[in-house]
Amino acid sequence: MWAEGFPSRRPPRNDPASASPGIVYVTLLIKVGAVAMLAGFIARFGIFRQLIMIEQRTPRQKLQLATFLGVPFMLGVLTRLLAGYQGLDLSLEATVLAGLLGGTIVGLSVGMMVSLPAWLIGHEYVAFLMAVLYACVAGSARYVCPDKEEIWKFSPFIDLSLYRSIKQRFKHPAMDWQVLFSLLVAILEITRLLIGRVAHQRIGRVSHQLLFYLDTNQFWSNVLVVLATLVAVGLPVRIWNNTRIQRKLEEQELALMKARVDALTSQINPHFLFNTLNTVSALVRFDPDTARTVILKLSNILRRRLKAQVHFSPLKQELDFVDDYLDIEVVRFGREKLQIRKDIDPEVLEMVVPSMILQPLVENAIRHGIAPKVDGGTVTLRSQRRNGRLRVEVADDGVGIPPEKQLGIYESGIGISNVRERLKVLYGEEFSFDINSQPGKGTAIRVEIPELVVPQAPVPAEPAHAAS
């Protein structure tokens, strides 16, 4: 009780019984706009987008979800108490949303959070009890719903969704969860209205301190209040469901990209394998040691292809893999016919490149550039950093590409088309792939990709007994 002679410092509150329909209509518009703004703001957080993708959540994830839903809507209740903006009080809507999307525990947590300012500042003691009711009803609805995706179908366009649902159920009788959710939200809003009226009639004008509600004592105006509550619950669900759909589409695109890269990476040139096996069979009779070395190199290459699920690797590993391949080719062609040169900047060895990106280019240079040349030639590997990008070049001084074949060179053969397609899938428009060839002088293939560096892992300390 406030002492006589001192002005009351309690924030002004509107008497629900005296609220005009016009004020209620404006309040409802503000309410719908506020819930849309808060829903869009919450959806911007990456953690929240991850949480709504999960249906079975851990206690920590439930706490995080309750925080995302409770804090913004609690500020809305606080704004209503301090500034008198009734349209920002979305305590019922927030609690029902939390119960439907997170379960009873999340609903109770959010209900307690949004009711706390009403209890401490506005002395609205019934708000806590109503929050428990909202959370238990919404949480129970979620619990009994066998398909949680039905919750995400809840729409702010209540009339259209209900019409379609009822029409469909007449054709195929079954439980319609959209109708059930809509009825539950409407019943909860009506219950709040009735309890507020009873408190106002029995206790007097202090009833608004016990429970916040909107009422004009006009039937159609109160119908709009219920409809606005349905929209205020369905609108965030629709906004967040669109976020879920967008995230699912992104995951499907990533899965599709991974499948395409896997398919491209797994292509094995049978000519290389057959030629290598023929070389081994010829060496077994007169040079078993060299044959054994070639088999080891071949096994490393095949093992590398079997482990091709890793789509990126340091340039150093790619060069080691190419060395195994070149060792086999040198044995096949002879050192006098195939020479290898490297001009690699040591600073780029730890930069990341797509796996299996160099070997097809080197194989293409040997097979189409050096092999047709009678006296052989040289394959040169170059790599350097340039303007924040990694440039890799595979050049040969072989026979070159005839002019009539240069126009369709990017689509011809497995090697070049495979590499170019993988770069396109992985980098989009952020790469360059150029071929410069002069008949009789050789061919150079240059690839430029964005610069990425592999983080250095800490070197584990040796055990104390290792010194002995």
Contact predicate 336/374, CB 8 Å: no
Residue 210 to residue 346: CA distance in whole angstroms: 74
Residue 462 structure tokens = 């040796």
Buried b (16+ CB within 10 A) or exposed e, 159-173: eebbeebeeeeeeee
What are the tens digits of pLDDT across the range 91-140? 999 999 999 999 999 999 999 999 999 988 888 888 889 999 999 999 99
Contact predicate 46/89, CB 8 Å: no
- What architecture (CATH level 2) is domain 266-450? 2-Layer Sandwich (3.30)
Contact predicate 64/50, CB 8 Å: no
User: Which segments of 20-157 does DSSP mark as H helices, in order?
Assistant: 21-42, 46-51, 59-83, 91-102, 104-120, 126-144
Give the DSSP letter of residue 336. T
Residue 144 to residue 405: CA distance in whole angstroms: 67
What's the average model confidence in pLDDT over 191-201? 81
Buried b (16+ CB within 10 A) or exposed e, 414-434: bbbbbbbbbbebbeeeebebe
Residue 35 to residue 45: CA distance in whole angstroms: 16
pLDDT at 211: 85
What's the average model confidence in pLDDT over 323-328? 84
C-alpha separations of 271 from 184, 267, 268, 274, 275 in Å: 69, 12, 9, 5, 6
pLDDT at 13: 47
Q: If you average pLDDT over each of 147-151, 152-156, 414-418, which comes out highest?
A: 147-151
pLDDT at 426: 82
Residues 6 or more apart whose CB falls under 8 angstroms from that of 228 comprise: 28, 31, 32
Residue 451 is which amino acid? E
Residue 244 structure tokens = 């879920």
Domain ranges of the chain: 16-254, 266-450
The residue ranking higher by pLDDT, 40 or 464, is: 40
SS3 category, 90:
coil
pLDDT at 468: 32
Residue 127 structure tokens = 């708000």
Q: Does residue 58 register a pLDDT over 70?
A: yes
Contact predicate 130/192, CB 8 Å: yes
Nearest residue to 418 (alpha-carbon basis) of 467, 350, 364, 346: 364
Contact predicate 91/99, CB 8 Å: no
What are the tens digits of pLDDT across the range 165-186? 555 555 554 557 788 888 899 9
Least confident of 85-99, 263-277, 400-414: 263-277
Contact predicate 121/82, CB 8 Å: yes
Q: Does residue 148 register a pLDDT over 50?
A: yes
pLDDT at 317: 86
Q: What is the pTM of this model?
A: 0.60
Please give the share of the chain, as a percent, with pLDDT higher than 70: 79
Contact predicate 424/411, CB 8 Å: no
What's the average model confidence in pLDDT over 223-234? 91
Q: Does residue 465 register a pLDDT over 70?
A: no
CA angle (239, 241, 247) in 5-degree steps: 110
pLDDT at 14: 45
User: Which segments of 315-464 does DSSP mark as H helices, in order?
Assistant: 315-333, 359-365, 403-406, 414-427
Residue 349 to residue 362: CA distance in whole angstroms: 18
On average, the pLDDT of the chain sits at: 80
What are the tens digits of pLDDT across the range 18-51? 457 778 888 899 999 999 999 999 999 999 999 9
What's the average model confidence in pLDDT over 451-466? 48
SS3 category, 98:
helix
Contact predicate 173/41, CB 8 Å: no
Beta bridge partner(s), residue 444: 395, 436
Residue 94 to residue 229: CA distance in whole angstroms: 11
Count Cβ atoms within 10 A of the Cβ of residue 41 and give its class: 0-12 exposed, 13-18 middle, 19 or more buried: exposed
What are the tens digits of pLDDT across the range 287-324? 888 888 888 888 877 776 666 556 788 889 888 888 88
* CA of residue 348 relative to chain centroid, distance: 31
Q: Does residue 5 register a pLDDT over 60?
A: no
C-alpha separations of 376 from 157, 308, 320, 340 in Å: 75, 32, 23, 11
| Dihedral of alpha carbons 190, 191, 195, 196, sign | negative
C-alpha separations of 207 from 123, 219, 363 in Å: 10, 21, 85
Residue 208 structure tokens = 């608004």
The residue ranking higher by pLDDT, 5 or 227, is: 227
Beta bridge partner(s), residue 178: none
- Split at pLDDT 50, 70, 90, the class of 447 is very high
Residue 405 structure tokens = 């074949």
